Amino acid sequence: MKTKSNLLLLLALPMLMSCGGDGNGAASVPAGVDTAAVVYDNIMTRRSVRKYKPQPVERAKMDSIVACGINAPNGQNRQAYEVRIVDDADFIDGLTKVYVESNPKAAAEPGFKNMFRNAPTVAFIAADTSYDMSVIDCGLLGGNMVLSAWSMGVGSCCLGSPTRFMLETPAAKPYLDKLGFSDGYKLLYVIGFGYPDETPAAKPRRTDMVRYVD
Ligand SMILES: Cc1cc2nc3c(=O)[nH]c(=O)nc-3n(C[C@H](O)[C@H](O)[C@H](O)COP(=O)(O)O)c2cc1C
């Protein structure tokens, strides 16, 4: 993963994309940095990661990643989401135990550590069900989070499957309850974060579904 260009972005992007721990900081661009190239490279090299080193992402770094998330565009600036970050192994492993009881084959996958594609830090994102655009807010939030994380050397994987499990499985409810989302907010998806222990290849993208209309 640490190609020459990635090294550049690893050095420069935390400065370029640092959104400030309070969520309101302005980015400062170092002199001589080709911002467009760095940002483009960060977007194009990001991959979903499913094998991680064991340590959780430092909370200060997660704060920066969340700050980038909440600085994404969002409908009417309602910021119609709630985010819960979990790096507690007891939570992750306890819920995974419930998951494996229902899906014993999952644990047989090589390198299986947990139901969040093995991530040691997990962000749970809930949408405000009273606002019809909230799922877009949540998606843009997560987009900024995974890209800013990548710029800091942190891998991630958006996850729908554990979300469905948590919403549909009575035995998972105590864990959902512990997240403490407010009334009117519903878990929409999960993003696993951690330091990558693999370098996945890019998956091909289609372009035939996009065209200009003259
Ligand atoms: C909404 C959403 C749900 C996803 N759910 C899962 C999942 O349950 N399990 C998984 O391994 N990957 C999941 N992914 C990751 C995608 O498989 C991945 O982004 C896609 O294959 C493209 O690969 P890339 O992210 O490496 O470019 C999900 C991604 C998104 C955006």
Cβ pair 157, 198 in contact under 8 A: no
CATH number of the CATH domain containing 72:
3.40.109.10
Taking only the tens place, the pLDDT of each residue in 128-169 is 999 999 999 999 999 999 999 999 999 999 999 999 999 999
CB atoms within 10 A of CB 76: 9
Contacts of 78 (CB under 8 A, 6+ apart): 128, 131, 134, 137
Establish if 60 belongs to a structural domain. Answer: yes
Q: How many structural domains are present in the chain?
A: 1
CA of 158 to the centre of ligand 1 (A): 5
Flag whether pLDDT at 23 surpasses 90.
no
Place of tokens 């050095």: 11
Q: What is the pTM of this model?
A: 0.91
Q: Is 9 domain-assigned?
A: no
Q: CA 190, CA 159: separation in Å to the nearest integer?
A: 5
Q: What is the mean pLDDT of residues 43-48?
A: 98
Q: Nearest-5° angle of CA 89, CA 148, CA 39?
A: 155
Minimum CA distance residue for ligand 1 atom 20: 48
Residue 107 in any domain: the answer is yes
DSSP bridge pairs for 64:
none
Q: Which of 47, 156, 159 maximizes ligand 1 atoms within 8 Å of its Cβ, making it the mutation to test the pocket?
A: 159
Question: How many angstroms separate the Cα of 50 from the Cα of each of 31, 61, 123, 171?
Answer: 36, 20, 15, 25
Q: Of 17 and 121, which is predicted with more confidence?
A: 121
In short, whether 125's Cβ falls inside 6 Å of ligand 1 is no
- Give the span between the Cα atoms of 112 and 93, in whole angstroms: 11
Residue 204 belongs to some domain of the structure: no
* Ligand 1 neighbourhood includes 203 CB (under 6 angstroms): yes
44 lines ligand 1 (CB under 6 A): no
Residue 186: inside a domain, yes or no?
yes
Across-strand partners of 158? Answer: 191
State in Å: Cα 214 to ligand 1 middle.
33
Atom of ligand 1 at shortest distance to CA of 142? 31
Ligand 1 nearest-atom number relative to CA 162: 8
Please provide residue 158's backbone torsions phi and psi, each rounded to the nearest 5 degrees.
Answer: -70, 140
- In this prediction, residue 118 carries a pLDDT of 98
Residue 210 lies in a domain: no
Asked if residue 121 is part of any domain, the answer here is: yes
Choice between 20 and 100, residue whose per-residue pLDDT is larger:
100
Confidence of residue 1 (pLDDT cuts 50, 70, 90): very low
Residue 78 has pLDDT above 70, yes or no: yes
Q: Which domain holds residue 158?
A: 47-194
- For 205-214, how does the pLDDT look when each residue is reduced to its tens digit (9 = 90+)? 999 999 999 9
Is 11 within a domain? no
